[in-house]
Amino acid sequence: MAPFSTMLFCVFAASFSWQQTTSAIKISAFNIQTFGTSKMDKPEVVNYLKQIIARYDMVLIQEIRNKDGTAIQELLDEVNSYSADQYEMVISSRLGRSDSYKEQYAYFYKTSTLSVLDEFEYPDNGAIDKFEREPYVVKFYASSTSVKEFAAVALHAKPDEAVSEIDLLADVYDYTTNQFNIENVVLMGDFNADCSYVKEDDWADIRLRNEDRFDWVIPDDDDTTVSGNTHCAYDRFVLAGTQLQQTSFGAQPFKFDEHFKLDYYDAVAVSDHYPVEIEIN
């Protein structure tokens, strides 16, 4: 048997090595209200957007309305011109039942801390069209974290169908685990999960809320809206997978109006939603 002092050194060395090779990443979900060319034509708005995005290793951007894709590419270029770290993007197709109104999801991610392993749009092609905008799912590799691999599921829920769409995310999670052979998943986005769209007695009908395998980490009494006239926790993170749940912390809205000392009118020019953020270790 090795001497006790040798064994103690090995334990210390292993602990030190773990501390040296793991560090947290910060991710965000941000509904940039009606994002397109008109927003990109406002330099003061772009200035705040690029600073917000550069806070994170990965950002899910929602409500992208620009048909030809130029606005989101310009935003990525602006972020890369501002940040010392370089970002890349993966983006969904244009989603929505109406030909006149469609949106895209995009994930901006820092290439020094994350890489994309795989992606898909949830196949909502059965007899019943279940989602207004099908969830967009991306599998990431984060070398600095203890989790290493996790999937992100994006949903911008249709307000009037929020209860059913949030409930169906339980099925999306199961599909994702089968597709990617992974249990660590963060379901994220503007779920419209509060106020008039999801009332207190609606939660009983939502499997994503009631099943123990899912952990809601943005409290119901948080406010993710910029307006002083509303107090609604629309934007959420839901964590699945024991390792992800145990190594994540700091979930909260980032109140950029307070951070940048913006008045109401300047703040809502950026978005009517706060980004929500969380760290993964």
State the catalytic residues. Answer: 103, 156
CA-CA distance, 253 to 235, in Å (whole number)?
A: 8
Contact in structure between 253 and 223 (CB atoms under 8 Å): yes
Phi then psi dihedrals of residue 83, to 5 deg = -85, 145
Tokens of 55: 């806070």
DSSP state of 153: E
Using a 10 angstrom Cβ sphere, with 0-12 exposed, 13-18 middle and 19 or more buried, the burial of residue 88 is middle
Beta strands in 51-194 (DSSP E): 58-64, 87-91, 104-110, 115-121, 136-141, 149-154, 185-190
Token pair recorded at residue 99: 């030909």
| DSSP state at residue 273 | B
Phi, psi of 77 (to 5 degrees): -65, -40
